[in-house]
Homo-oligomer: A and B are copies of this chain.
Amino acid sequence: MSLRYALLALLTVEPMTGYDLAKRFESSVAFVWHAPDSQIYPELRKMAKESLLAAEEISWGPNGKKTRYRITPEGRAAFRQWMNTPLEYSRERDPVHLKAAYLEWAEPSAARQHMQAHIDYHTMRRAQWTEMIAGLRGATNEMLNKRLAATAEEDRRRTLEYKIFTYEGLIARAETEIEWGLQGLRLIDSLSAPSQQGG
């Protein structure tokens, strides 16, 4: 259900085509949301029908054309309303911890690989986000600059600070996961060492 709002969020900065949005979902926003184009195009059409977006056909080369979507005042209102609505914390679906809870079923080598993969994944994420923050602080982030340019001056600081805050939260989470992974590796080693009943 949040795909719609992720799209609105991006479109508050500037009008974009489905293709542009799909690309964003592979990069910048990918930190919190991902969606394939096959989900994006239909959703955009639906949102246009509900007049949250205005579609404009623009030509591209001699024969080509594309559809650019622009957020409407209704779209802005819908986004703002979503932003003012409390989130539902419902589903819990965590394959990593599901596996971790039954790690005694895995070969020690496979168990180590799980933990190492977890560490690697979150190390990679942490690096991405650290870079993102650097981009925000150094004002080299293109998307953010466009956003700030379209933001009333008195709101710019908040806009920037909340984004940094978000990335910092993600970095903190990644670090917690890395630490847990390292703990896991130590635990696996200690449990698979040949007989250490003594204590």
- Residues of A in contact, count (CB < 8 Å): 64
A46 contacts the other chain (Cβ, under 8 Å)? Answer: no
- The complex places the Cα of A187 from the Cα of B168 at a distance, in Å, of 12
How many copies the complex holds: the figure is 2
Tell me which residues across on chain B come within 8 A of A32, comparing CB atoms.
Answer: 92-95, 97-98, 101
Contacting residues of chain A (90-142) with chain B, CB-CB under 8 angstroms: 90-107, 110, 113-114, 117, 121
- The complex places the Cα of A9 from the Cα of B105 at a distance, in Å, of 10
A19 contacts the other chain (Cβ, under 8 Å)? Answer: no
**A6 and B98 in contact, given A32-B92, A161-B191, A173-B173 (Cβ under 8 angstroms):** yes
A89 contacts the other chain (Cβ, under 8 Å)? Answer: yes
What mask results when residues 5 to 35 of chain A are scored 1 for a CB within 8 Å of chain B, else 0?
1100100000000000000000000111110
Interface segment, one of A47-55, A66-74, A174-182: A174-182
Q: Is the CB of B83 within 8 A of A110?
A: yes
Contacting residues of chain A (163-186) with chain B, CB-CB under 8 angstroms: 163, 165-166, 168-170, 172-173, 175-177, 179-180, 183-184
